[in-house]
Chains A and B, each alone.
Chain A
Amino acid sequence: DVQMTQSPSFLSASVGDRVTITCRASQTVETYLNWYQVKPGKAPRLLIYAASSLQSGVPSRFSGSGSGTYFTLTINSLQPEDFATYYCQQGFASPRTFGQGTKVDI
């Protein structure tokens, strides 16, 4: 299985901050890398697909980059509704695998 490792696991930030979350794959996943936002009691939300493509309806303050084994998710000017847990997920190989998550908290 492709192991996905996110860092940090926990991130304390303030409204207006720029935050970056990294995701490393144990082997290349090319650009088959997706990012999700998960909040308690809500359906997970796809933010970024194919490493850098913004999903329809997602604010432009979210951006993704990377290829191969190293990826980043950046949130510019953090908003109150952005406090959540973020997961990366590879779509290159089966089984699909997720990172362990990064909780962004105040």
Chain B
Amino acid sequence: QVQLQESGPGVVRSSGTLSLTCTVSGGSIGGYYWNWVRQPPGKPLEWLGFIYKTGSTNYNPSLKGRVTMSLDTSKNQFSLTMRSVTGVDTALYYCTREVGDDGFDIWGQGTMVTVSS
């Protein structure tokens, strides 16, 4: 069965760059949309964007061009890079798989990222 696992630093300095990787195990990275979703403390879930197996991407405009997603099919991994982070980017970050329009069916456990000043 497919499993996702996020990895990356738990603390990022303000104005710095947040980099997270999601490793896909138990299945291929092809054929699905690979997404990032975050949840700031006490706030609802927020969709950040996706990358498809072709490398095409779609980002949430609210992130104002600070985000880049990439794919490494040889390692069965996809990644999130967020630049110029501030305290509002402190959140629990999840990677998740989207099956067409039928929702996010598989999620990682999430990784907490704190932006420190």
By a beta-carbon cutoff of 8 Å, the part of chain A in contact with chain B is: 32, 34, 36, 38, 41-46, 49-50, 53, 55, 87, 89, 91-92, 94-101
Q: Which one of A42, A91, A100, A101 lies within 8 Å of B101 (CB-CB)?
A: A91
Secondary structure dominating the interface of A:
loop
B101 and chain A: residue at smallest CB distance: A91
**Smallest beta-carbon distance B83→chain A, Å:** 19
B103 within 8 A of A: yes
Residues A96 and B44 in contact, CB atoms below 8 Å apart: no
- Report the separation of the CA atoms of residues A8 and B44 in the bound assembly, to the nearest whole angstrom: 14
Q: List 5 A-B contacts (CB under 8 A).
A: A34-B104, A43-B94, A43-B110, A44-B45, A95-B49
Residues A98 and B102 in contact, CB atoms below 8 Å apart: no
Count: A-B pairs, CB below 8 Å: 62
A55 and chain B: residue at smallest CB distance: B105
Q: Give the one of B45, B60, B104, B107 with max A CB within 10 A.
A: B45
- Report the separation of the CA atoms of residues A45 and B110 in the bound assembly, to the nearest whole angstrom: 12
Interface size (B, Cβ < 8 Å)?
A: 23
Contacts of B61 in A (CB 8 A): 95
Known interface pairs A98-B46, A99-B44. Does A46 touch B58 (Cβ–Cβ under 8 Å)?
Answer: no
Residues B103 and A98 in contact, CB atoms below 8 Å apart: no
Known contacts A50-B102, A91-B101, A96-B47; 7 further A-B pairs (Cβ under 8 A): A38-B39, A43-B94, A43-B108, A46-B103, A46-B105, A89-B47, A91-B98
- A-B pairs, 3 with minimum CB distance: A34-B103, A43-B107, A96-B47
Q: Which one of B47, B49, B62, B109 lies within 8 Å of A98 (CB-CB)?
A: B47
Contacts of B110 in A (CB 8 A): 43
Contacts of A38 in B (CB 8 A): 39, 45
